[in-house]
Amino acid sequence: MKTKKKIAWKIVILRALLTILCAFVYVWIFSNSLKTAEKSTSQSQAVTDAVQSVVGSIAPQSPIANATGEDYKKLHNDIRMLAHFSEFLLLGFLVTCCYCSYVLTNEKRKKWVFIPLLAIAITPPLDELLQTLSEGRAMEFLDVIVDMVGGFLGFGLAIVCLWIGFTLYYKRRKKVVEANE
């Protein structure tokens, strides 16, 4: 009886933690969208400069470390795209794990897998629409596509990780049961 209570508390804590992490990532994404164009560009240029500095210390002759002019603009744009992709990859992963933590014991969980997919699909257009409220910013279709690809890849990664985790758990549990017989 105690083990069921311990498991129940672990699930409650896991759900709370994943819900808080999802909320944090949503707030982070949407707060970035509300920044002015100037502030957003300044922030991403700081990241680009940091990348150049790190790459420069590792490979001083690298084109990344020495990018200027048009090459710098391309590098800056690539880093912005990677940031979009990464934040939505994280969101897709967390939303899927969070959702699965709530339906672990539900027999119909496979039928409702579209719920995290829907959340992932709706967020990028809302994010880009939110940017139109900020000075100097506009919706960009490419950003929506990059965000969705990142989110869906995060979904897939979460499903694979959960499948591996459950497979290992049930194999271990089977061994314990067989050893106790």
pLDDT in the model for residue 87? 96
Residue 152 forms part of a structural domain: yes
Confidence of residue 107 (pLDDT cuts 50, 70, 90): low
Average pLDDT, the chain: 90
List the structure tokens of 58. Answer: 């590792």
Q: What is the pLDDT of residues 133-166, one digit of tens each?
A: 988 889 999 999 999 999 999 999 999 999 998 8
Distance (Å, whole) CA 162 – CA 155: 10
Domain coverage including residue 157: 2-37+84-180
> Total domain count for the chain?
1
Residue 77 forms part of a structural domain: no
Enter the pTM of the model. 0.87
Distance (Å, whole) CA 123 – CA 29: 10
Residue 12 forms part of a structural domain: yes
